[in-house]
Structure 1
Amino acid sequence: MTRSVAAVEACVEQTLRRVGKRVRLGTPLGIGKANHLVNEFYRRAATDPSIELSIHTALSLGRPHASSELERRFVEPLADRLFRGYPELAWVKPRREGRLPDNIRVREFYFQPGSLMGSPRAQRNHVSSNYTHVVRDLLDQDINVIAQLVAADRSNGNGEAGLRYSLGSNPDLTVDIVPHLERRRKGGEEIAILGQVNSEMPFMYGDAVVEPSFFDGVVDDPAIDFPLFGAPNVPVSTADYMIALHVGTLIRDGGTLQIGIGSMGDAITRVLQLRHLENETFRQVVADTGIEERYGDLVSAIGGLAPFEEGLYASSEMLVDGFLELRRSGVLRRRVYDSVPLQRCLNEGLIGEAVSLEALDALVDEGVIEAELTEADVAFLERYGLLRSGTHLIDGKLVFIGGRSTPADLGNDVTRQFLRDHGLGDRLLGGHFAHACFFLGPRDFYQALRSMDPAERSGISMTGISFVNELYGREELKRLQRRHARFVNSGIIATLGGAMASDGLEDGRVVSGVGGQYNFVAMAHELDDGRSILMLTATDERDGSLTSNIRSTYGHVTIPRHLRDIVVTEYGIADIRGRSDEDVVTALLEIADSRFQDELLAEAKEARRVPASYEIPEHARHNRPDRLEDLLAPCRDRGLFQDFPFGTDLTEEELVLKDALTALKRLAGERTVPIPGLSELRGALRVPEEATPYLRRMELENPSGLNERLLQRAVVVGLTSVGAI
């Protein structure tokens, strides 16, 4: 029975009395953390060295922090506006600064990408694990407390009898691990499952819905409600859009889609909208960029250029805001059902979403139901909306609400006419256009979920990682649902052998984590018509140095070369599944940046991976960023392929300043922002008037003292370098 606890402190105190001072605390990835509860556990351990606290989680989100005075002036006002009211996780800053108490450990299987590269303690406590193996690993660590942010639904009346909870953004691991913990509880272990209600958390359906008895304690105090952490949209680059244009041709109508968060995900979403809503424009862009000419055979074989007549279904560990955009656009509309025979009939075109007597006949022909309906048949037909709600089988007759009845024999002409006139449903019920396990996104994404009609929101089935990220368990159903699956993920470094590094660097540092990428790549190989698409930009510019993201070899691998499939850069598609090593090398050379092709080719020849006579084809010898800019320029003149296709939380001044500060770092060739010398200052005695709004935002309009004047001039240098003034 759930104990509703008024105060966070009381809930934690009761839990400590229950489980003792050896606390193994699990709290979800991303926004599903019960911030007040986990922070109180941290506070208790920080003030009481006798408490041994291990926090097991992933993606501990925090406000951005600045590494220089100019960055501070830019970041702090922005963070105050975007994250006002968000309670920081107690361990984020101490861990970053190396000040975690000795009795507290924080173990994460996924980092906010790049955020902890400079934290030795965080790196040492990273747990490298496939998403589908995290529950096993948590159980091995003897997790005894779960603390999760939840949504509450009291629409069915007051009191516990009318109360339901939803695991909201994060049923991902909770629904999988709690049954194991309950078995341990029955074996005598002390376990505590805790919830913290937050009115900002959308009430999500599917396996996320749980009864009050699911929890041992729930803190439900509106005074501590807080805004969910909103991840701002990031700008979409030309390279992102070019990658997305290639990917957009590989998505099969009537298929399944998995994508991630970030600029590439936004670019894919916008391209798929273009394909569906402005198909003539989409086809023209695909032709003008040479994609159709170069990859037409592959597109015809596994993808398409036409609008989405049947639509797509999303099966993705992460529900990204792009899926809602695709839903609004009419792209994400293929529904799947949790019945093998029903899904098979849908896949084979024997029935459709609209209910008809012919659909019932098809189900009889396929042996799904009997012509003389049984009680199980009637329950099946009513559950999925083929018969009207409230239909019962009584003494061989179908009895409907209101008392009207007819023989339960589909071969009876009277019954058939009655069903046509009165007994059939309108459309199939219980289908889902998306299965997902967690979500994270910008603030308006959460608002959109909260404001959705519950019937529409229930089309998103939030469930456990064990369902979405693997085929094991209900495999026949999953194979039917996930037809023509395209699992689209991103990488950091690809090798000429077809391997991909996506989570870390060859020096051993972890950038993010494996997450579910390996799961989806492996699943694509197991599905008869599935494909894995791994995307990466061809180059990376860092600290003033440009490097190729396609290498001959690399000392770290996330996806091994024997799982190679499709690799996409802004310069093209390498279809390398089942290809010889030589073919793989040449395909990847053709989508590398031309500034690095000669070096890569020489290394491949030296290693005898290609014949000494091989030369990269002429059509692939012009892979340069300026050519891509020229290709997309006419599109941008028509309003296509904007930096923020779905809006941004940044002001116009902040967008310009962001580019200016980035340019300063690039000019300096180092991570710190450069300050102009005195000779440069003498040449810039007057600050241009058009710089005023930017300097005002940076609180440098009227500088005080030499240091602020130097900072002011640095901003002017940056603004000038990006053409803002």
Structure 2
Amino acid sequence: MSVLELVDTSITTHLATTSSSEERTPATAFSDADKLVDHIIDVVGKEIVLGAPLAIGKSVAFINALYQRAKADPSITLRIETGITLEKPVGKSKLERNFLKPFVEREFDGVPDIDYIMDLRKGAVPANITISEFFFKAGSFMNSPQQQNYTSTNYTHAVRDLLDKGVNVVTQLVAKRTIDGVTTYSLGSNSDLALDFAPVMKEMQDNGTPVAMVAEVNTNMPFMQNHAEVADNVFDFVLDQNLKPGHQDYSLFAAPHASISPEDHMIGFYASTLIKDGGTLQIGIGSLSSALVYSALLRHQNNRVYNQIMDELKVSEKFPVCRHVGDRGTFEEGLYGCSELMVDGFVSLYEAGILKREVFEDLTVQTLLNRKKITTDVTVSTLLTLLEHDAIKQQLTAQDVSYLKRIGVFRQSVEFIDGQLQAQQQTMKADLGDTEALQWITKLCLGDKLTGGAVMHGAFFIGPKDFYDALNEMSDEDHKKFCMTSVNYVNDLYDHFIGSQKLKQAQRKHARFVNSAMMVTLNGSAISDALENGQVVSGVGGQYNFVAQSHQLPDSRSIMKLRSCTVRNGKLKSNIMFNYGHTTIPRQLRDIVITEYGIADLRGKPDHVVYTELIKIADSRFQQQLLEQAKAAGKVAKDYTIPVEFGNNTPQAIQSFYQKYTQQNIFGPFPFGCSFTAEELQLGKALKSLKAKTATPAGKIKCILHAITTPRPDNTIQPLLKRIGLDKPTSVQDKLTQRLLIAELRGR
């Protein structure tokens, strides 16, 4: 249901009330960004605190114009409050730059740079401008002065915190359409904060505070309906450069398809065994989430092989939590997606017939569906069940008929006139207790399906190009099932003007809130956003909200995924650690943890079980050390030994298993498409391997010794060297680099 429609229902919202056409005039349109900046300064003055959404929702043309104006005029004070500022990949070394340049030119063609991030990288932001983010693009500002401007906040508190910081201009990218002379805007990729900002900003204006809501139209932004579609008076000013002849909107930033490693696939597979048919799913971004989607598809589309893998891995025997928490069958009832980030994987699940459990904005309807008293197919039984549960009266009223039409039980053509029903130019008494009337209603009034159902609620989206294409090409019917909405609606259970806590609880049955962590300590605490020295890697975002929410819902589980180990400072380290000096999710909220070696069920367990369950899914190269630390602290019995079935947690075991199934075209690094050419894949793999091998002095010496004896490049390697600019090296450094790369490409 659109926010526009809320005013016509029993749901009353502040946004719908204050945005009515009687009280607000349509937004003023500008075709020139600089003229809009002039006007903004006239309205709010020269002290500007700009709130901009995460990721692709930023109005780049307007933000760049405002930034350049402040950069040229020191009398303007500009503070930009935002999150996840996206930037095109830039190599740190000459070799990386040579590799990335053709790729970036191809994949990011038409995508503009955001000026302030370019100046941040060069240290050229003037003193009158500050950029503050509450979520970094992962790892983008390590060892950077920008660490000082990070604001730690939960995603659901972002509007509150930005208002506390004095935000007086809110801006975002929107889509636009005009139907029968009525123009509406879609919040597109970022309904997350705007739906909550709008009523507050209007109230501030009514109280005489100079603030402004600014939209920038981009025809490439998918037009999302439902809650994301807003009236043309929600914004005060709109930058629509399409009003200028010959203008072409810039391309949206698209994240290339990430490769899925064997370890990631195993993590995704284990996670898929915990998903309940008929349940709710939240997933994040990146290869771990793509791996989960892949295994969910495998479970549904090739269930025989899926169960074969389960049996071979002895998942049910080693990790019994999957038997009562998850399923291993196909998705007959289907899933409902409730995720702050709507990734392309949800569209894949929808197209495969997995994301199909519809939820409704009516608590009675949702409750009856959950109890299987009704289905989404409308019959006379649907009508009588609603009567039985006092949703309507036996002697139907005008309000009852309006309600039945809104939820799809009655056709839109049915009218209530002078106490009687009218349909297909016939009239009948509106009495459900009358047999003749009920038969007439069954024949002429009933609809086919419940209407207004959504299979997905999301707060923002970002993904690859084909994801945006899929959204743009969706039919109207499909679009209505994807509802972009407020982050406070998705991430929290508290009452919200879009839906009550009771409604959210009814919708989110059997929820599996799946998140990723960098590290987990043996007491079950998760580290996801920062290091123990205080350096921020990304941000808390919505992770805490979803974990807390999972503990509030009776049949929900929080699932934390992580790779068992990683290379840090040139050394292999376990990501399951005895302790760590920073925590994102505290131990009292521990639940399920997954690595490539299995599942640890921690919720409600005593510490000795928590410690040993996590040790069981650690890499075997670190298990004994972790066990000794746990015993030394008195958390595990001195005579405890790791069961033999958990003692072969090695990369070699993963590779052996993985290769067996890739030979059957199961798994694979790019199951959802690849943004790289064959040459780039070969080079990228070699460069990544070479970087890891030369991370330590000893490793560098070893690689150099191999490189010295490597043969000259043959006809298969020469094109690769040319692609990366090393076919004709001149300097000693380039010649050595060439030899190192040749050796790596030859598999030395």
| CA contact 1:314–1:433 (8 Å) conserved in 2 | yes
Match of 1:404 among 423, 426, 429: 426
Compute the RMSD of aligned alpha carbons. 1.7
Shift of 1:674: 6.5
SS at 1:23's partner residue? Answer: strand
In structure 1, give the amino acid aligned to 2:185. Answer: Y
Matched, 1:271 2:291: no
**C-alpha separation in 1, matches of 2:252 and 2:310:** 39
Match of 2:714 among 676, 682, 688: 688
| CA contact 2:704–2:740 (8 Å) conserved in 1 | no
**C-alpha separation in 2, matches of 1:315 and 1:680:** 52
Q: Which residue of 1 aligns with 2:590?
A: 564
Shift of 1:706: 4.7
Shift of 1:711: 3.5
Alignment of 1:273-422 (within 5 A): 273-295=297-319, 297-400=320-423, 402-422=424-444
Shift of 1:455: 1.8
Q: Which residue of 2 aligns with 1:245?
A: 269
| CA contact 1:68–1:673 (8 Å) conserved in 2 | no
Shift of 1:216: 1.3
| CA contact 2:387–2:393 (8 Å) conserved in 1 | yes
Q: Which residue of 2 aligns with 1:145?
A: 169
Q: Which residue of 2 aligns with 1:104?
A: 129
In structure 1, give the amino acid aligned to 2:680. Answer: E
| CA contact 2:255–2:465 (8 Å) conserved in 1 | yes
SS at 1:336's partner residue? Answer: coil
**C-alpha separation in 2, matches of 1:483 and 1:674:** 53
Task: Give CA deviations for 1:147-188 in whole Å, capped at 9, x if unaligned.
Answer: 11100012333xxxx211101100101111221111111111
| CA contact 1:408–1:415 (8 Å) conserved in 2 | yes
Task: Give CA deviations for 1:523-561 in whole Å, capped at 9, x if unaligned.
Answer: 000001111000111101234310000111100000000
Match of 2:211 among 182, 191, 195: 191
Task: Give CA deviations for 1:501-532 in whole Å, capped at 9, x if unaligned.
Answer: 00011111000000000000000000011110
Q: Decide which moves more: 695-704 or 350-359.
A: 695-704
Q: Which residue of 1 aligns with 2:574?
A: 548
Match of 1:65 among 66, 69, 90: 90
Matched, 1:175 2:195: yes
In structure 2, give the amino acid aligned to 1:95. Answer: L
Give ranges in structure 1 of 5+ residues lacking alignment.
none
SS at 1:76's partner residue? Answer: helix
SS at 1:213's partner residue? Answer: coil
Q: Decide which moves more: 69-78 or 178-187.
A: 178-187
Q: Which residue of 2 aligns with 1:432?
A: 454
| CA contact 1:108–1:125 (8 Å) conserved in 2 | yes
| CA contact 1:70–1:673 (8 Å) conserved in 2 | no
Match of 1:608 among 629, 634, 639: 634
Give ranges in structure 2 of 5+ residues lacking alignment.
1-24
Match of 1:505 among 520, 523, 531: 531
SS at 1:59's partner residue? Answer: coil
Q: Which residue of 2 aligns with 1:213?
A: 233
Question: CA 1:344–1:56 in 2, change beyond 3 Å: closer, same or farther?
Answer: same
In structure 1, give the amino acid aligned to 2:219. Answer: S
Shift of 1:670: 5.3
Matched, 1:588 2:614: yes
**C-alpha separation in 2, matches of 1:231 and 1:405:** 57
Question: CA 1:457–1:604 in 2, change beyond 3 Å: closer, same or farther?
Answer: same
Matched, 1:12 2:32: no
**C-alpha separation in 2, matches of 1:580 and 1:516:** 27
SS at 1:91's partner residue? Answer: helix
Q: Which residue of 2 aligns with 1:495?
A: 521
In structure 2, give the amino acid aligned to 1:433. Answer: V
Question: CA 1:26–1:674 in 2, change beyond 3 Å: closer, same or farther?
Answer: farther
Task: Give CA deviations for 1:110-157 in whole Å, capped at 9, x if unaligned.
Answer: 11101111312x111111100111111001001000111100012333
Task: Give CA deviations for 1:331-360 in whole Å, capped at 9, x if unaligned.
Answer: 000000000111111000010011100111
**C-alpha separation in 1, matches of 2:387 and 2:446:** 16
TM-score (structure 2 length as normaliser): 0.93
Alignment of 1:690-709 (within 5 A): 690-704=716-730, 706-709=732-735
Question: CA 1:627–1:221 in 2, change beyond 3 Å: closer, same or farther?
Answer: same
Task: Give CA deviations for 1:381-436 in whole Å, capped at 9, x if unaligned.
Answer: 11111111121211222112x42222211222222222332221111100000000
| CA contact 1:676–1:710 (8 Å) conserved in 2 | no
| CA contact 1:676–1:714 (8 Å) conserved in 2 | no
Q: Which residue of 1 aligns with 2:8?
A: none
**C-alpha separation in 2, matches of 1:617 and 1:510:** 37
Shift of 1:673: 12
Task: Give CA deviations for 1:449-486 in whole Å, capped at 9, x if unaligned.
Answer: 00101221111111101100101000000000000000
Match of 1:164 among 180, 184, 190: 184
Q: Which residue of 2 aligns with 1:260?
A: 284
Shift of 1:7: 0.3
| CA contact 1:112–1:512 (8 Å) conserved in 2 | yes
Q: Which residue of 2 aligns with 1:617?
A: 643
SS at 1:163's partner residue? Answer: strand
| CA contact 2:52–2:58 (8 Å) conserved in 1 | yes
**C-alpha separation in 2, matches of 1:12 and 1:694:** 48
Q: Which residue of 2 aligns with 1:445?
A: 467
In structure 1, give the amino acid aligned to 2:370. Answer: N
Shift of 1:50: 1.0
Q: Decide which moves more: 546-555 or 76-85.
A: 76-85
Shift of 1:705: 5.4
Question: CA 1:671–1:331 in 2, change beyond 3 Å: closer, same or farther?
Answer: farther
Match of 1:631 among 641, 657, 674: 657
Match of 1:646 among 672, 694, 705: 672
Q: Decide which moves more: 469-478 or 414-423.
A: 414-423
Shift of 1:657: 0.8
Question: CA 1:247–1:685 in 2, change beyond 3 Å: closer, same or farther?
Answer: closer
SS at 2:50's partner residue? Answer: strand
Shift of 1:95: 1.4
Shift of 1:701: 3.0
SS at 2:174's partner residue? Answer: strand
Q: Decide which moves more: 450-459 or 681-690.
A: 681-690
Q: Decide which moves more: 367-376 or 74-83.
A: 367-376
Task: Give CA deviations for 1:27-70 in whole Å, capped at 9, x if unaligned.
Answer: 11000000010011110111111111000000000011111111
SS at 2:260's partner residue? Answer: coil
SS at 1:609's partner residue? Answer: coil
In structure 1, give the amino acid aligned to 2:83. Answer: A
| CA contact 1:67–1:672 (8 Å) conserved in 2 | no
Task: Give CA deviations for 1:177-220 in whole Å, capped at 9, x if unaligned.
Answer: 22111111111110111111001000001221111111111111
